[in-house]
Structure 1
Amino acid sequence: MPLIIRLLWLLIVGILAHSCNAQNYINTTVFDPLKYVNQLIGTDNGGNVFAGATRPYGMAKAVADVDGQNTAGFSTDGRNVTGFSHMHDSGTGGNPSLGNFPLFPQYCPGDEINNCNFLKGARKTSYVRSSVVATPGYFAIELGTGIKAEMTVTEHAALYHFEFPVGANGTGTNPLISLDLTDLNASRQNASVSVDSDGRIKGNGTFLPSFGSGSFISHFCADFQGANIKDTGIWVNNRAGTEPKSIFVTRGINAFYLEAGSFVSFERPANGVISARVGVSFISEEKACRNAETEIPGEKWDFDGIKKSAEEAWREKLSVVSVNATGVNESLVTNFYSAIYRTMMSPQNYTGENPLWQSSEPYYDSFYCIWDAFRSQLPFLTIVNPSTLTEMIRSLLDTYKNVGWLPDCRMSLCKGFTQGGSNADVVLADAFVKNLTSANSTSKIDWRLAYQAVLNDAENEPLD
């Protein structure tokens, strides 16, 4: 019996047999697994866990980014917030991953644009630890400046509410939201951005993966609602202006990292709330805008409806596992469902967002990394989510067809490095002996192709 299954059985038996003398008993009259997901477990002390808003296996992952333990964006280590970005990975080691094109809300002292701080190191601010709220599909936080942020997501877009308090003590009265042409790892090679009179910001950049070779291009499209626009423009090296309305930046021959981006300033609305919608894509800026407009439509964006839809998606996934938690300490059930939750964040479903080859097959990315996931997560999914794992295996096989080998690790459209052999072979073998295809008759695995891929891994070694 695989280790993860043994551990889960032991945990379930422990829950069922737990002493009724424990404190904080669970009331099983109405049992909702979402109440027992703690997304902040594992964000500190090297856990590298994504804490923000996501849908199951979703591409859009929104959270506050910090300047401390930020491999997955946010950490409860008490460091400073540097921005709010829309794509992340979870469980990575080494370098931070993604975090492209962060937004940052602020007031410019005296309402003077050049009193604003645009550089990451200058704009960073503390956050109120007690203000952090993280639930499936949702994340909220209050900055030390008093500005509050909450966010939720669809599959390919993030929706933010930034609440600006009334300006005081010379802090300014006109809110400003900037966008930075960077990522968490400052890996940007080049990037471009433009802003129009309606405040729509579009752009793209070439970045490096956090644990692999090659590069990838990411695109975004940001819109704003809730306030009248005062000014728009571009910033470079902590200086800003309303002309020009577009810019292209690169590292240059000396590899100098030029910090730059765009901004929109507003007249503060009566309720102080300004909404930002950010669509993301690996295909084009137009596709990023289309993703946002399709998934978050209308003249008034439905934050509560999108949040509820994300919650229902998670509730459906987590409800396939149920326990009799009568008289059980709540912390044990929280650990249990939080762990299951984390098996369904990545790999991420990038189907329709793969610019590298044309295919009718699913495409999953962020396999971080199969030499770990084959031991526990992926075998667990054969039991609790076989239909999605079937799509992942079809994606692995399609990657083999188009790249030449099964990946051992893959992220951001790039080939990851390899450790300890060809571990995707184990994933295929495990699914085969469990007869995974029969669990999802509408999605067939080509087992002849799978054998060919495994044989190729055994007989042919890539140059790198």
Structure 2
Amino acid sequence: MITGGSPSLGNFALFPYVSCPGDDLNRCVFPKKARKIHYNADSIKSTPGYFALTLSSGIASDMTTAQHTSLFRFKFPTSNNASSSPLILLDLTDLADSRQDNGSISVDATTGRMTGKARFLPSFGSGSWTGYFCADFAGADIRDNGIFVNSRASADVKKLAISRSINNYPLPGGGFIRFKSTPAEGILARVAVSLISSEQACKSAESEIPDFDFEATQKAAEDLWRQKLSPISVSTDGVDPSLITNFYSGIYRTMVNPQNYTGENPLWESDEPYFDSFYCLWDSFRSQLPFLTIVDPASITQMIRSLIDTYEHEGWLPDCRMTLCKGYTQGGSNADVVLTDAYIKGLVDGIDWDKGYEAVVKDAEVEPYDWINEGRGGLDSWKTLGYIPAQDFDYKGFGTMTRSVSRTLEYSYNDFCIAQMAKGLRGRDADVEKYEERSSNWRNLYNKDQKSFRIFDNGADTGFTGFFQGKYLNGTWATQDPLWCSNLENTNRPCSLQNTGQETFESSLWEYGFFVPGDQAALISLYGGPEAFVRRLDYLHDQNITYIGNEPAFLTVFQYHYAGRPALSALRSHMYIPSNNGLPGNDDSGAMGSFVAMSMMGLFPNPGQNVYLITTPYFPSVSITSPLTKKTATIRNINFDPTYSAIYIQSATLNGEPYTKNWIDHSFFTEGKELVLTLGRNESGWGTRVEDLPPSLSAYEGFNGTVGRGLGKRGRRWRRNKEEWVGSMGSVKFAEFVSDEM
């Protein structure tokens, strides 16, 4: 699973040798950098629960897994007249070479069992963690075993404790085992890991893969994956097989992280589930976790309980967490969005929502000492000035003093989400008003006079004026070019968590200019109305400013819905996915996979709201069975075109009745409704009226002179018994706004 930051995990690696030259143990090459060899690219095979490749040495390796235990099978060549005494090495290392001091291993002379531990760094966080292992071998008689350190090995020494060394690279060290023969069926290595102890790792290995049965273990893994993937089925008539592969691969990727570490948490005792590898919520809140809410609500429920339990014991909801360590906060306190999304979509099953609400309110009200790891920084300024200042004076907590614009925009949305949760909890009316008001703080960083020039194209004017911009404590504007940190810039400008970074995180002012997920109506008005909004959104995409391989781009693909142009969202979706061969970029623990899956499914979430934006699925039909209700929701295309020329919705029915809204809520899945879309080659008037647009905190204005009623406190009605929005909006004709053809 690819993540941002440094490589993750990859602990206690195995490395097989055909033999040692001259049958001399010390002539084998042990250090990791020196022993590396190529693999045959055409030998790679990967399916859920299985991976295989062949090394250039001729060793064929394949592997499968249970929950805590992996099973490796190595088949050694016998036709090269080499000595038939293969060797397998276990290295006290990890993928990122982050091993710290006190790595250790013990080798049993008789059985060959290896046990030990090492301490490592997290790949995107603070602190360190200790992993334990238990390795057993089967398939051939043992010739000898022992330990290696640096470039030498010994069968006479069975224990090793090793430091990191002083050269910022961990010393090579670990254990080895040699065999007397090379059986045709291969040699098996069973390796279990634990965060508690080697003894617990051994118990997991013996219970999960007791007989070293590779085929049975692989089948069990495949069966579990089939069960996980089973809620979604698609009609594939006429669909390019590569799109089908990309779709299901995307779904598969959504289910790798976060990981269930229940029973493996040494930090505190609890009866609650413990999930790890929230990697990071800034990435996953946008589509991955909403996707799992549809297809795997039981796991999401456990994740929510785990997040709340982490708050209970650590004092804060994590924004990023890996291998027992606190990860870095990239922007807002996005667990607020995750909890709200689960709450408004009706997840219960043991979740203490009062405690969850307490946790999100703490994010909004209390500044932690280390807000680089949790919560929010700059809360004094947030509450008094209504924005996070550039170069803020913040003596209460500490973090990288950058990202003032993106943090302001993200804090605004975090507060919007807290208000949504407060609406469903009795006695929180004052909180609803407070957090709705704070959710509009994004307005305070809008510089109506800010221009944008194509700084990489002889300074030509983009033609657009008015952008969010950093602001100092005294109210004067900071200066960040709107195209800095965009996809167009190639200057290696620091745009991430560096202390020399910009006022936006991993993205430009151009892109963050659209991040107002709770009040798109107000943003559209700010930019001059729907036509001006669409022109600006078109420019973002057409000029290659946005990078679809990073998460802030996701929602911008579908924000045309809010301007009454859902057809353009479909157009952008089809522009990006085929051109990127399905996966747009770094998968970020399933974030990219979920973007692909939900885009191809035709329903994209605006997380923290009970809203899915409707576009055309990439298949004749898509069916999703709710694991909670066992009811099956179906999206069916009439006039499906496998060339994807007819991707524009002409009309729709929901359960047989005409349906004109360009969005749908979560009851579509839980109640098993049927959405039928009639498609055509031209943009139509479907989903374009004000009453068809998704909910927004403010009223829609400027739509051909008609003002719609927003879902703020004057224009909303809350049905507590059903937990759903009921909004009444005015009507408008779009004859002058919607073009007849693309």
Q: Is TM > 0.5 for Structure 1 vs Structure 2?
A: yes
Q: For residues 416-459 of structure 1, what are the alpha-carbon distances to aligned partners after superposition, in whole Å with 9 as ceiling and x for unaligned?
A: 0101110000011111111112xxxxx32110001000011111
Counterpart pick for 1:134 among 25, 46, 52 = 46
Does residue 447 of structure 1 match 2:353?
A: yes
| Counterpart for residue 228 of structure 2 | 317
SS at match of 2:301: helix
Q: Give the CA deviation at 1:272.
A: 5.6
- Please name the residue that 2:150 is paired with: 237
Q: What displacement does 1:327 show?
A: 2.1
- 2:189 paired residue among 259, 263, 276: 276
Match of 1:366 among 262, 274, 277: 277
What percent of counterpart residues are identical?
A: 59
Match of 2:609 in 1: none
Whose radius of gyration is greater, 1 or 2?
Answer: 2
The alignment's C-alpha RMSD in Å is 1.3
Distance 1:226 1:91 in 2: 33
Deviations 1:334-387 (A, max 9, x none): 111111111111101100001000001000100111011000000111111111
2:65 to 153, 175, 182: 153
Which whole-Å CA distance do the structure 1 matches of 2:265 and 2:257 have between them?
16
Matched, 1:379 2:290: yes
Deviates more, 1:251-260 or 1:180-189: 251-260
Match of 2:518 in 1: none
Q: CA deviation at 1:206?
A: 0.7
Cα deviations by residue, 1:43-95 (Å, 9 ceiling, x for unpaired): xxxxxxxxxxxxxxxxxxxxxxxxxxxxxxxxxxxxxxxxxxxxxxx231121
Q: Is the 8 A contact 2:132 2:197 kept in 1?
A: yes
Q: Which residue of 2 aligns with 1:93?
A: 4
Aligned to 1:326: 237
Offset of residue 244 of structure 1: 1.4
* C-alpha deviation, 1:153, in angstroms: 0.2
Q: Give 2:663's aligned residue.
A: none
Alignment of 1:250 onto 2:156: no
Q: Which residue in 1 is equivalent to 2:332?
A: 421
The structure 2 residue matched to 1:185, chosen from 68, 79, 96, is 96
Distance 2:234 2:165 in 1: 58
Q: Is the contact made by 1:165 and 1:272 (CA closer than 8 Å) also made in structure 2?
A: no
Contact preservation (8 Å) 1:231, 1:265: yes
| Inter-partner Cα distance in structure 2 for 1:257 and 1:376 | 38
Alignment match, 1:436? 347
Moved more, 326-335 or 131-140: 326-335
Structure 1 segment 19-418 matched on structure 2, within 5 A: 90-106=1-17, 107-166=19-78, 168=80, 171-190=82-101, 191-197=103-109, 198-252=111-165, 257-271=170-184, 273-298=186-211, 301-418=212-329
| In structure 2, distance between residues paired with 1:272 and 1:147 | 12
Classify the secondary structure of the residue corresponding to 2:106: strand
What is the identity, as a one-letter code, of the residue corresponding to 2:140? A
Q: Which residue of 1 aligns with 2:468?
A: none
CA distance in 2, matches of 1:252, 1:140: 34
CA distance in 2, matches of 1:303, 1:101: 20
Query: Which amino acid is 1:221 matched to?
Result: C
Alpha-carbon spacing, 1:124–1:167, altered in 2? closer, same or farther (3 Å):
farther
* Distance of aligned partners of 1:278 and 1:312 in 2 relative to their CA distance in 1, 3 Å threshold: same
Q: Which digits, 9 at most, give the CA deviation of each residue in 1:86-131, with x for residues without a partner? A: xxxx231121111111010002111110111111012111101111
1:307 counterpart letter in structure 2: Q
Could you tell me how far apart the structure 1 residues matched to 2:148 and 2:2 are? 33
3-state SS of paired residue (2:131): strand
* Residues 193 and 246 in structure 1, CA contact (< 8 A), matched pair in contact too: yes
Per the alignment, in what secondary structure is the counterpart of residue 233 of structure 2?
Answer: coil
SS of aligned partner of 1:372: helix
Structure 2 counterpart SS, 1:172: coil
Partner of 1:13: none
Asked if structure 2 preserves the Cα contact closer than 8 Å seen for 1:164 and 1:272, the reply is no
Q: Which amino acid aligns with 1:451?
A: Y
Structure 1 gap ranges (5+): 1-89, 438-442
Relative to structure 1, the CA distance from residue 340 to residue 270 in structure 2 (aligned partners, 3 Å threshold; closer, same or farther) is closer
Amino acid at match of 1:332: L
Question: 1:322 aligns to what SS in structure 2?
Answer: strand
Letter in 2 for 1:305: A
Q: Per chain length, whose mean CA-contact separation is higher, i.e. which structure has more relative contact order (CA < 8 Å, sep 6+)?
A: 1
1:27 corresponding residue in structure 2: none
Dislocated runs of 4+, deviation >2 Å: 251-257
Are the structure 2 counterparts of residues 344 and 356 from structure 1 closer, same or farther at C-alpha, using a change threshold of 3 Å?
Answer: same
Q: Distance in 2 between matches of 1:255 and 1:161?
A: 33
Q: Is the 8 A contact 1:368 1:411 kept in 2?
A: yes
Contact 2:232 2:295 in 1 (8 A): yes
**Pair 1:254–1:130, CA change in 2 (3 A):** closer
Provide the C-alpha distance between the structure 2 equivalents of 1:167 and 1:212, rounded to a whole number of angstroms. 48
Preserved CA contact (<8 Å) 2:85 2:182: no
User: Residues 255 and 342 (structure 1 numbering): CA distance in 2 closer, same or farther, change over 3 Å?
Assistant: closer
Contact 1:149 1:163 in 2 (8 A): yes
C-alpha displacement at 1:251, in angstroms?
2.4
SS of equivalent residue, structure 2 residue 207: helix
Instruction: Report the counterpart of residue 605 of structure 2 in structure 1.
Output: none
TM superposition shift of 1:290: 0.5
1:456 aligned to 362, 375, 396, which one?
Answer: 362
Which amino acid in 2 is paired with 1:148? A
Compared CA separation, residues 215 and 385, structure 1 to 2 (3 A): same
Q: Give the AA of the match of 1:384.
A: V
Q: Please, which moves more after superposition, 281-290 or 428-437?
A: 428-437
Q: CA deviation at 1:270?
A: 3.5
Residue type matched to 1:100 in 2? N
What per-residue deviation string (whole Å, max 9, x for no partner) do you get for residues 188-245 of structure 1? 1120001012100000001110010000000000000010100111111110111211
Residues 166, 385 of structure 1: alpha-carbon distance in 2 compared, 3 angstrom cutoff: same
Residue pair 1:200, 1:222 contacting (<8 A) in 2 also: yes
Cα 1:267–1:102, aligned 2, differ >3 Å: closer, same or farther?
A: same
The amino acid that maps onto 1:156 is H
Deviation at 1:253, TM superposition (A): 6.3
**Mean CA deviation greater in 319-328 or 195-204:** 319-328
Describe the shift of the 1:375–1:111 C-alpha distance in structure 2 as closer, same or farther (beyond 3 A).
same
Q: Structure 1, residues 129-178: CA drift from partner, whole Å, max 9, x if none?
A: 11100001000100000000010000000001100111635x43200001
Structure 1 CA distance for aligned equivalents of residues 2 and 137 of structure 2: 32
Q: Distance in 2 between matches of 1:168 and 1:408?
A: 54
